[in-house]
């Protein structure tokens, strides 16, 4: 059975590598945005004030705005990078419902259009600087993983970095170069799966079963997503995709981009399900070496039924959380429930969720039966539990 795993996974791994080589935009320059967004520079806010906007572009600081006047915010800044580094600048920002609340001491990002660095019209206030809190949270996450997981936690962090590199260095450039997003996502997901699972859990029959179960489930998710997105006439043209197409200045397969998101989004939950099922079957066999593959399958499936409910709920809540602004906007639009569920944005999230959930449900019996067949034929001394040292991986 180990040889069968090798015969099945080796061509799949080779196909993943060959696919990535063929899809990568070798020698092609990265596409530039057709929309000029300016060069980001950093600044620090030293003072703010509000008042009605005047016709000459000034702000009547401290005055009450008339009903026909729009309120504005003046922001005094000190440039901390870029061509105006060290210079003082005053910008006027119209106050809209979507305008962030800026205050003295905030570190912000400006867009510089290349003009005179002493002219306020050369800059636009676009965002906050968030580097420090993000780095601190990432460090806290890494420490937590290392404290609990030790060597296996370190391997998981390395695998996470490599997975992110696959997305940034392969998936994004290939899609931007015009390749089919779904095909790119499948190749990228395959690479992430091989790297993450084998690096985190070691080269073993147990991990190979999880890899195979994940592959089968990913294929099912891709097929279901493609069929039902076409049947439901989903275009994939949400606000973010429309903005991307406008920035690129050329077409992109919006529906393929939707399907690519489904495949990559479901990968993390699938990894969890398949590894858990495989480990459960291995431990059942180790605890009772007399169990045959049928008994292992039935016992493992009972464990899987408990796990699949929480896994599906995790996926549903993740998609619902990401789509919360869309859900809120749709709920106040005054349309009926049927029209609401059938709208492009909501229907896309429903298909993402249901296709991913079907794949998760299918992963349980598929992975469990594969694990039972392999574990039932494994020598007892190959069924040791993994420890926190790299040398323990079989």
Q: Give yes or no: residues 152 and 87 share one domain.
A: no
- Give the per-residue pLDDT at 41: 92
Tell me the pLDDT tens digit for each residue of 354-380: 888 888 899 999 999 999 999 888 776
Looking at per-residue pLDDT, the higher value among 309 and 263 belongs to 263
Does an H or E element contain 71, and which?
strand 71-79
In terms of residue numbers, what domain contains 276? 148-392
Q: Give yes or no: residues 44 and 126 share one domain.
A: yes
Structure-token pair, residue 4 = 């069968």
Which value, to the nearest 10 degrees, does the dihedral of the CA atoms of residues 316, 322, 323, 324 take? Answer: 100
- Give the per-residue pLDDT at 381: 65
- Cβ-contact 120, 91 below 8 angstroms: yes
Residue 250 pLDDT grade (very low, low, confident, very high; cuts 50, 70, 90):
low
Q: Give yes or no: residues 82 and 162 share one domain.
A: no
Q: What is the Cα–Cα distance from 349 to 151, expressed in whole angstroms?
A: 37
Q: From start to end of the chain, where are the E strands?
A: 39-52, 71-79, 88-94, 107-112, 123-128
Tell me the pLDDT tens digit for each residue of 311-321: 777 777 877 77
Structure-token pair, residue 343 = 């709208």
Q: 294 pLDDT exceeds 70?
A: yes
At 350 the three-state DSSP class reads: helix
- Is residue 11 a part of any domain in this protein? no
Looking at per-residue pLDDT, the higher value among 104 and 394 belongs to 104
Residue 201 pLDDT grade (very low, low, confident, very high; cuts 50, 70, 90):
confident
Q: Give yes or no: residues 120 and 209 share one domain.
A: no
- Give the per-residue pLDDT at 258: 86
Tell me the pLDDT tens digit for each residue of 57-91: 678 777 776 777 788 888 999 999 988 888 899 89
**DSSP string for residues in 272-311:** HHHHHHHHHHHHHHHH-TT--HHHHHHHHHHHHHHHHHHH
- Give the per-residue pLDDT at 391: 37
Q: How much is the mean pLDDT over the chain?
A: 84
Spatial strand order of the sheet with 88-94 comes to: 88-94, 71-79, 39-52, 107-112, 123-128
Q: Give yes or no: residues 231 and 88 share one domain.
A: no
Q: Give yes or no: residues 185 and 326 share one domain.
A: yes
- Identify the CA nearest to 158 among candidates 204, 198, 212, 214: 198
Burial class from Cβ neighbours inside 10 Å (0-12, 13-18, 19+) for residue 292 reads exposed
- Give the per-residue pLDDT at 390: 38
């Amino acid at each position: 059975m180990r040889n069968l795993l090798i015969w099945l996974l080796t061509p799949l791994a080779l196909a993943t590598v060959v696919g990535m080589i063929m899809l990568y935009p070798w020698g092609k320059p990265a596409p530039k945005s057709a929309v000029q967004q300016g060069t980001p520079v950093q600044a620090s806010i030293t003072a703010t004030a509000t008042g009605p906007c005047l016709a000459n572009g000034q702000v009547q600081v401290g005055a009450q705005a008339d009903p026909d006047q729009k309120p504005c915010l003046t922001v005094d800044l000190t440039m901390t990078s870029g061509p105006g580094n060290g210079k003082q600048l005053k910008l006027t920002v119209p106050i809209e419902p979507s305008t962030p609340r800026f205050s003295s001491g905030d570190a912000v990002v400006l867009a510089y259009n290349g003009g005179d660095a002493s002219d306020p019209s050369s800059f636009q206030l676009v965002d906050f600087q968030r580097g420090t809190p993000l780095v601190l949270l990432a460090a806290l996450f890494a420490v937590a993983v290392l404290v609990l997981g030790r060597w296996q936690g370190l391997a998981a962090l390395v695998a996470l970095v490599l997975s992110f590199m696959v997305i940034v260095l392969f998936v994004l450039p290939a899609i931007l170069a015009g390749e089919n997003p779904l095909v790119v996502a499948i190749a990228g997901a395959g690479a992430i799966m091989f790297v993450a699972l084998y690096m985190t859990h070691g080269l073993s029959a147990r991990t190979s079963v999880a890899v195979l179960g994940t592959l089968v489930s990913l294929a099912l998710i891709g097929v279901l997503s493609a069929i039902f997105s076409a049947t439901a006439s989903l275009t994939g043209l949400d606000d973010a995709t429309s903005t991307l197409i406008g920035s690129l200045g050329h077409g992109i397969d919006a529906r393929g981009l939707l399907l690519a998101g489904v495949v990559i989004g479901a990968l993390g939950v699938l990894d969890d399900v398949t590894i858990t099922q495989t480990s459960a079957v291995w431990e059942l066999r180790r605890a009772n070496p007399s169990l045959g593959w049928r008994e292992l399958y039935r016992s493992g499936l009972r464990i899987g039924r408990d796990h699949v409910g929480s896994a599906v709920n995790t996926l549903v809540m993740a998609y619902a959380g990401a789509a919360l602004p869309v859900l809120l906007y749709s709920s106040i639009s005054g349309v009926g429930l049927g029209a609401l569920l059938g709208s492009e944005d909501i229907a896309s999230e429903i298909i993402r969720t249901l296709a991913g959930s079907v794949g998760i449900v299918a992963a349980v019996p598929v992975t469990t039966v594969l694990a039972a067949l392999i574990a039932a034929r494994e020598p007892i001394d190959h069924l040791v539990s993994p420890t926190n040292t790299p040398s323990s991986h079989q």
